Amino acid sequence: MVDRHDQATDPRLQEQLLQARRGTAFFARKLNELSDAELDGGSLLPGWTRRHVVAHVGYNARAIARLIEWAATGIETPMYSSPEARNHEIEFGATLSPIALRHLFDHSAVHLNVEWRDLPDPAWQHEVRTAQGRIVPAEETIWMRTREVWLHAVDLNNGASFNDIPATILERLLQDITGAWKTRGTDTGIFVEVSGQSQAMAFGDVGAVDATVIAGTLPAIVEWATGRGAGGVAAEGPAADDAAPAAPKWI
Site residues for Zn ion per CB under 5 A = 148
Asked if 150 and 163 count as a contact pair (C-beta separation under 8 A), the reply is: no
Give which of 36, 13, 45 is closest to 151, Cα–Cα.
45
Residue 140 or 148 having the CB closest to Zn ion: 148
CB of 148 to Zn ion, least distance (A): 5
Give which of 203, 185, 183 is closest to 193, Cα–Cα.
203
Q: What angle do CA 23, 28, 33 make, to 5 degrees?
A: 130
Closest residue to Zn ion, based on beta-carbon distance: 148
CB of 141 to Zn ion, least distance (A): 14
The residues that bridge with 136 in the sheet, in sequence order, are: 128
Residue 23 or 216 having the CB closest to Zn ion: 23
The residues that bridge with 214 in the sheet, in sequence order, are: 192, 235
Residue 6 or 148 having the CB closest to Zn ion: 148
CB of 147 to Zn ion, least distance (A): 8
Distance, in Å, from the CA atom of 74 to the CA atom of 246, rounded to the nearest integer, reads 42
CB of 60 to Zn ion, least distance (A): 6
From residue 79, alpha-carbon distances to 31, 39, 61, 63, 72 in Å are: 24, 26, 10, 4, 15
CB of 134 to Zn ion, least distance (A): 15
Residue 123 or 169 having the CB closest to Zn ion: 169
Distance, in Å, from the CA atom of 147 to the CA atom of 163, rounded to the nearest integer, reads 15
Asked if 171 and 69 count as a contact pair (C-beta separation under 8 A), the reply is: no
Residue 78 or 237 having the CB closest to Zn ion: 78
CB of 83 to Zn ion, least distance (A): 13
Residue 150 or 191 having the CB closest to Zn ion: 150
